[in-house]
Homo-oligomer: A and B are copies of this chain.
Amino acid sequence: MSSNTNPPSGTRDFLPDEVARRYRALTIIREVFEAYGFAGMDTPAFERIETLMGKYGDEGDQLIFRIQARGEKFEQALAEQDAAATADHALRYDLTVPLARYVAAHQHELPTPFKRFAIAPVWRADRPGKGRFREFLQCDVDIVGSDSLMADAEMLLAVNEVLDALGLDGFTMRLNSRKALRGLVEAYGIPVEQESTALVAIDKLDKIGVEGVAKELRGRGVADDAVEALATDLASSDVAATLRERIGGSALGTEGLAEVDTVLELTTPNLAGGAIAFDPVLARGLSYYTGPVFEVAHDGLGASIAGGGRYDGLVGMFSKNDIPATGGSLGIERILLLLEAQDAEASAAAPTALVTVMGDEHRGDAMRIATHLRRQGAIHTDLYVSDGKLGKQFKYGDRRGVRFVIIRGDDEAAAGSVAVKDLVSGDQVTVTEADLIAHIRSRV
């Protein structure tokens, strides 16, 4: 007998109610993506270790869960104290590198453009913390093989429809372009070698305010006059309009603004919910984005619930050619927590009815009645399959969250009827077996 029965640090067991809730949300997400013509794809939980190493920077490499080689290969590595050779596979760290490998492996079997979604767990050996897990779901949607802004717009609309279909009210999609960002930096005379560091600071506007951004820019060595000009604009009454004018002074910036405008034009009339707006200071993981970028903020949450953009340099990493791509990622764990908070009362895993059993001689009847409800009634029905007094059976039904408890004792058996206790109203009525389905349906 092992003493520790908790799941490993940073991972979770899911109780039936959570499983049902998560599954319900994932079903909605799948359905929307399929309605938008995206196809599901799936890859193994682990990859050859060389497929993953070196793709996420040094820090990422440290967080990859490595799977040991076996047999002689492992023995030899151990004998030689060759750390690298002790592992030959590694758990998936994200869904993007597997996508790149998949596209390279199956390019002749896939349509172009390839519109995919993937919902799957990934594993990272991060220090576990509140809301930070070592095993968590990612949900990605990507269009691979098109450099048209139609693809960016389509991906955004699918994400928008998913968020709306999930019942997440009060979200805003912020849109920018990597090119507009570079134009912004150029417009304030910030030299190109300071571009990245300046954008990291500007991206924090929401959190640290204009003064904070100015301070951080100075700290990062940006010239005083550039910082002052930017700070003045960031404090103006219509920041977006002011910055837009500035950005328009740069050729690259003008190109970026045109991208943003085209995407807004294609998406705005077709939104399912929420709103979409240009945000000239939205930066997002600058390292690999090449075109439009977006982020979705939820009113009730400090953090974003989705984000992404065009990343034309990445999917081709295992292919001979560059492959244009645009994609988004839903912060699915965060979204599931939001939904849980919205819907804390409902018992998602609850069957509608429980058929009780009044002694061995009634087992056959109970089983027949349960089968009848399930098969003819399409009513989710539990059956009490242990020995226990009626009180215990009711307690079980209550715990499962059922609405109706069905009882068939000697009297009911003699009359061909059943007693139905409604746990919501508290009343109990006797109906014939033939009327049972109609009775339950009339009440739910």
Contacts and interface: CB of A to CB of B under 8 A. Distances in A.
A184 to B, nearest CB: 26
A115 interface: yes
For this complex, into which size category does the number of interface residues on chain A fall? 35 or more
Contact of A86 (B65, B86, B375): B86
A238 to B, nearest CB: 26
Nearest to A48: B8
Contact of A67 (B65, B317, B367): B65
A5 B81 contact: no
A335 interface: no
Contacts of A101: 2, 5, 7
Nearest to A102: B13
A45 B148 CA distance: 39
Interface stretch (A153-161, A202-210, A213-221, A282-290): A153-161
29 contacts: A2-B51, A5-B101, A7-B101, A11-B46, A13-B42, A13-B105, A15-B41, A15-B109, A15-B110, A20-B39, A20-B40, A34-B351, A36-B374, A36-B381, A45-B91, A46-B123, A46-B135, A62-B70, A67-B91, A68-B68, A113-B385, A143-B385, A146-B387, A148-B385, A151-B385, A153-B385, A269-B364, A270-B367, A270-B371
Contacts of A437: none
Contact of A318 (B2, B20, B37): B2
A424 B374 CA distance: 38
Contact of A146 (B62, B68, B87, B385): B385
A414 interface: no
Contacts of A318: 1-2, 5
A409 interface: no
A328 to B, nearest CB: 14
Contacts of A357: 150
Contact of A380 (B35, B47, B146, B386): B35
Contacts of A115: 382, 385
Interface in A380-403: 380-387, 396, 399-400
Interface string A48-79: 10110000000000100111101000110011
A116 interface: yes
Contacts of A43: 7, 13-14
A270 to B, nearest CB: 4
Nearest to A354: B37
Contact of A154 (B41, B75, B153, B383): B383
Contacts of A307: none
Contacts of A147: 386
Given A39-B19, A385-B148, A157 B14 contact: no
Contact of A145 (B104, B354, B386): B386
Contacts of A41: 13-16, 19
Nearest to A153: B367
B400 A111 contact: yes
A112 interface: yes
A363 B1 contact: no
A75 B374 CA distance: 57
A36 B354 CA distance: 10
A441 B305 CA distance: 35
Contacts of A7: 43-44, 47, 101, 105
A40 B23 contact: yes
A430 to B, nearest CB: 23
Contact of A396 (B78, B112, B396): B112
A265 B367 CA distance: 10
